[in-house]
Structure 1
Amino acid sequence: MSPLPAVWAPLRDPRFRLLWAGQSLSHVGDAVTSVALALAIVTTTGSATDLGLVLAAQSVTMVTLMLPGGVWADRLPRQRLMLAADLVRGLTHAVMGAELITGTVDVVHLAALAAVSGAASAFFLPATTGLVPATVAPEHLSRANALMAIAQRGSVLLGPGIATAVALTAGAGWALILDAVTFAVSAILLGRLRLAPVPSVPRERFAGQLAEGWAELRRHRWYWTNLVGHSLWNLGRCALITVGPVVAVGGLGGELAWGTIVQGGTVGALAGALLALRARPRRPLVVANLALALGGLPLVLLAAGAPALVVAVANGLMAGGLAFMSPMWETAVQEHIPAEAISRVSAYDWLLSIGLTPLGMAAAGPLAGVTGSAATLYGAAAVIALPSLGLLLLPDIRRLGQDPADTSLGTAPSSSRV
């Protein structure tokens, strides 16, 4: 553990302060929008299908354009790409808010605007992974990633309350306007960043650069094997999201039971991010995978009929493990992947990690109908925990340290970071 003052060291760097402040505001705005949009659509049209259409439009464009976004994030100055993406997202959310304020809720319009916002996110997210190392000294990188995680997890606590208050007093449309303002502020702060340029690489054809990103990912065995585990983890969690509410509401005490379980996850996520701020493990991927293995606990307890409060604590451990793992994973990637390729590799990371999620969301309910909820939850728990524990058997996972010059992994050392 580090002494308390040291954990805030990244915020002493004005570059990271600008990035962190902008992203903190943006995360709160996103959390506000997700709740406000749901309230606006459901209360106006009364249709969960309409809400699903809007959310699906956003996710489809984000997943579809993630790989092109990674290529362009390695071609262009990352903060400028992120700035442009923030402006696009701010504009789309402002138009969505204006439609809601005027009382013209057109689901097709909202879905189209959400699709544009998702496309902008596809360019923003890969660029973020490459930008954080450029804003802090190497020795502060892990804490910087932890502070970014705290901003993200903390927004989940603040956002719903703000969204509900604004929606009830001024209307849901104004909540989206608030989110648009946070995007504008984030863009302004990104515009003030002054960073050293990333070494330029020869401009190859798009497909060639995409192939280079894939080759870089495959070169690191610790990376692609972990991505297999991450993909299965997200697949297994789908059962908690889809089958979990049915079990909790039907057998553990109604809607209050599920609300308690969800709130446990929210608190646990923030606690995990705060713990990651001070943790400095010698074998980060070992600790990270042990943290991910905790994700099987709430599914097992739900299947066993444990009380809602017990399941809520377990869900807190699941969410806390994920939040604790994320900064360690980001730091490992940023320290061992060349700066000129990291956004392309990160795009593959995002795509592969969440690629099975639509399948899991669609299949968990029907599977529970055939095999029973308990069997589905037990099986999903195994899908989460066993790959995470199995990865500990791989020498690459056990030997990876936080020293980017480590050459004990059977791969050539990566180039230095900016």
Structure 2
Amino acid sequence: MHRTLGPLAHPDFRWLTLGATISRAGTALTVVALAFAVLDLGGSASDLGLVVGAYALTEVITTLLGGVLGDRVPRQVMLEGASVASALGHAVIAASLLGGWASLPLLAVLGMANGVFSALGGPSSQAMTPLTVPAAELSRAIAVRRISANLATIGGFSLAGLLVAWWGAGAVIALDAASYLLAALCFWRLRVPQVLPEQHTSMLSDLTVGLREVRRHAWLWLLIGQALLYHLFFGGAQGVLGPIVVGDDFGREAWGWALAALMGGFVVGGLLTLRWRPRHALFVGTVCLSLTACFPLAMAWSPTVAGVLVGAFLHGLGLEIFSVWWDTSIQQQIPPETLARVYSLDMVGSFVMRPVGLALTGPVAELVGLRTWLVVIGLVIGVSSLLTCLVPDVRNLVRREEGAEPERGAAEPITA
């Protein structure tokens, strides 16, 4: 039975995966609903970028705190608390839209609050997987969890455009609020060992330990930098330009379909990694990352919605293959007691420029042309991924055999 079900044979992993999956389904609805809510309130591309960027900015700022707390406080508690707080935050957004008292500044402020809640639980969620399965099943557990969440996101994206058209953005975001409460109940069912520090040091010292751990792995800090570049450019393509360009050319439903095709690529990529175990997995994943250029280029050049869907699918395929091997490399190479902090630094380093990209995308695209800027985005993220593959530390990192222990000795606590 265990061989057949793999990581799903373990109850804690099932509850963790179910909670994350439910939350992702609701979040997918909000991504689409919030974009059209801003546009329906008379917002421009620049306004949409500022509203989405407000969420991203506070998420980045708070993630470091979430990482430190995730290594000091039981991670299950962090997940439960963040989910309940997110439910309340999204409920207020839904109430403002349904009650007719929403405004662009209000949506921006509420988005900032929800960014804080999301950031507090994010590192703990990522670092929780190794606590729910045996080490021998870690890479499969990572892939299964991502596949499940991506399938839920596909459903959310596929339905979002239709639900917004039928019910309105407020009702759709209310569904997301309910999904966070259901996720909190799932996390409450977890019974996992606690990974807590033996010594009580200052939060600054704890963060310094995580930073030192990142610095000693060249492949880690280099690819965090690559992710920074990706989110700086592509964040605006997805969060700002996509709904406008695709929505205007092919209808609002088409943008939901494009996001669903993107998630379809994620699912197929995840399924491939369940069986495919390349020796130099991180290098293979980084090569596949160059496929992310396909989506913005398709939005810029394709005369049909089919071309946009194909570009979105290839983007998701390449990004998911990279993401599975990226997570596997981190969770195999980094000691468990610093994992949440390393993930928080990964998230901050990756997303720190996303708010800037979201805020600047509208003005820059309006200046040079929306499609011209989409071409620039595609070239930057595609070429930079291929250049990263040339670095020896990325090219030569060897995937550990399942169950091997991560290196230790460089992440002992620093006394303040």
User: Do they superpose with TM above 0.5?
Assistant: yes
Q: Output the TM-score relative to the length of structure 2.
A: 0.84
Contact 1:239 1:380 in 2 (8 A): no
Question: 2:353 aligned to 346, 356, 363, which one?
Answer: 356
Shift of 1:216: 0.7
2:89 corresponds to 1:92: yes
Contact 1:338 1:414 in 2 (8 A): no
The range that moved more, 178-187 or 292-301, is 292-301
Shift of 1:166: 5.0
Query: Which residue number corresponds to residue 292 of structure 1?
Result: 289
2:46 corresponds to 1:47: no
Post-superposition Cα deviations, 1:262-292, rounded to whole Å, max 9, x if no partner, equal 5543432332233233332222101110110
Shift of 1:198: 1.1
2:97 corresponds to 1:76: no
Question: Alpha carbons of 1:171 and 1:232: their partners in 2 closer, same or farther (altered >3 Å)?
Answer: closer
Question: Alpha carbons of 1:116 and 1:280: their partners in 2 closer, same or farther (altered >3 Å)?
Answer: same
Contact 1:248 1:254 in 2 (8 A): yes
Question: 2:184 aligned to 182, 187, 192, which one?
Answer: 187
Question: What secondary structure, in the 3-state scheme, does the structure 1 residue paired with 2:336 have?
Answer: coil
Shift of 1:95: 2.9
Post-superposition Cα deviations, 1:78-133, rounded to whole Å, max 9, x if no partner, equal 11011011111112222333343444335544443332221111111111121111
Query: Which residue number corresponds to residue 60 of structure 2?
Result: 63
Q: Which amino acid aligns with 2:42?
A: G
Question: Alpha carbons of 1:58 and 1:244: their partners in 2 closer, same or farther (altered >3 Å)?
Answer: closer
Q: Which amino acid aligns with 2:397?
A: R
Structure 1 gaps, min length 5: none
Question: Alpha carbons of 1:181 and 1:154: their partners in 2 closer, same or farther (altered >3 Å)?
Answer: same
The answer to which structure, 1 or 2, has the higher relative contact order (CA under 8 A, 6+ apart) is: 2
Q: Which amino acid aligns with 1:202?
A: Q
Question: What secondary structure, in the 3-state scheme, does the structure 1 residue paired with 2:342 have?
Answer: helix
Question: What secondary structure, in the 3-state scheme, does the structure 2 residue paired with 1:340 have?
Answer: helix
In structure 2, what is the Cα distance between the partners aligned to 1:218 and 1:109? 39
Contact 1:406 1:413 in 2 (8 A): no
Structure 2 gaps, min length 5: 412-416
In structure 1, what is the Cα distance between the partners aligned to 2:82 and 2:227? 27
2:120 corresponds to 1:123: yes
Q: Which residues of 2 match residues 8-27 of structure 1 at below 5 A?
A: 8-27=5-24
In structure 2, what is the Cα distance between the partners aligned to 1:212 and 1:370? 44
Query: Which residue number corresponds to residue 400 of structure 1?
Result: 398
The range that moved more, 230-239 or 365-374, is 365-374
Question: 2:208 aligned to 198, 208, 211, which one?
Answer: 211
Q: Which amino acid aligns with 2:26?
A: G
Question: Alpha carbons of 1:301 and 1:348: their partners in 2 closer, same or farther (altered >3 Å)?
Answer: same
Shift of 1:330: 1.0
Question: What secondary structure, in the 3-state scheme, does the structure 2 residue paired with 1:69 have?
Answer: helix
Q: Output the TM-score relative to the length of structure 1.
A: 0.83
Post-superposition Cα deviations, 1:391-416, rounded to whole Å, max 9, x if no partner, equal 33333322321347589xxx86778x
Contact 1:231 1:354 in 2 (8 A): yes
Query: Which residue number corresponds to residue 264 of structure 2?
Result: 267
Shift of 1:9: 0.7
Contact 1:264 1:313 in 2 (8 A): yes
In structure 1, what is the Cα distance between the partners aligned to 2:258 and 2:32? 18
Contact 2:54 2:112 in 1 (8 A): yes
Question: Alpha carbons of 1:360 and 1:146: their partners in 2 closer, same or farther (altered >3 Å)?
Answer: same
